[in-house]
Amino acid sequence: MPQQIKNIIGRLPRWALYTASSMLSGALDYSIYFFLSRVALTKLAMKVSSSVIMHLAFTTGRLSGGLCNFFINERFVFRTGSTGRGVRLIRYLLMLVVIAFLGNWIIARLYTVREMDDLLAKIITDLTMFVLGYCIQRFFVFRKRSL
C-alpha cells in the first residue's frame, strides 16, 4: 500500500475507520442477502416459509460480511497486527454468533410481529448491531492487553 494512503488512514479517527470498514463489509453482506433472498433461494421458497428464506439469507450475508470486517478491522481500525490472531478470531466469531442470533431475533420480531418489510427490518437491525458490534470489538475482541 502506498505511503500516502497509509498516512491518510493513520490520521482518521477510529470511529471513521470503523464506519468505512462496516460500510464495505456491509455492502458484501447486503449483496449476499439480496442475491440469496431475491434470486438464489426463490425456488426453495415454494417449499419453506419466507421467514426461513429471510433467516438463511440474513445469516449467510452476516457471516460473510463479518469475516471481511474482521480482517479489515484487525489491520486498519484497531491496528493489532497478526500476533494473537487466533484468539481474536475466536472472540470475533463468538461475537458474530451472538450478533447473528440477536439480529435474527430482532429481524424476526420486526418482520413477523410488526409486519415490517424485510429490507427495512434488516436496515433497522443492522444499525442496532453496528453500535453493539463496535463496543464488543473495541472492548473485547481487539482490546489492548492490560499490564
Give the per-residue pLDDT at 82.
63
Overall number of domains in the chain: 1
In a domain, 74, yes or no: yes
State the Cα–Cα distance between residues 34 and 83, nearest whole angstrom.
Answer: 36
Which amino acid, one-letter code, is at 79? R
CA distances from 36 to 7, 43, 99 (A): 38, 11, 20
**Local mean pLDDT, 10-residue blocks, the chain (147 residues):** 68 83 93 84 68 81 90 84 81 90 90 86 89 91 70
Examine residue 146 and state whether it is found in any structural domain, yes or no: no
Give the pLDDT confidence score for residue 81 in this predicted structure.
63
Assigned domain for 60 exists: yes
End-to-end CA distance of the chain: 33
pTM: 0.72
Indicate whether 113 belongs to any domain: yes
Q: Is residue 147 part of a domain?
A: no
- 12 part of a folded domain: yes
Could you give phi then psi for residue 117, rounded to 5 degrees? -55, 140
CA nearest to 129, candidates 20, 24, 26: 26
Range of the domain at 109: 3-141
pLDDT single digits (tens) 82-101: 668 888 999 999 998 898 88
pLDDT at 5: 67
25 within some domain: yes
User: Considering the domain boundaries, does residue 40 fall inside one?
Assistant: yes
pLDDT of residue 106: 93
Those residues with Cβ within 8 angstroms of residue 99's Cβ, 6 or more apart along the chain or in another chain: 62, 66, 129, 132, 133, 136
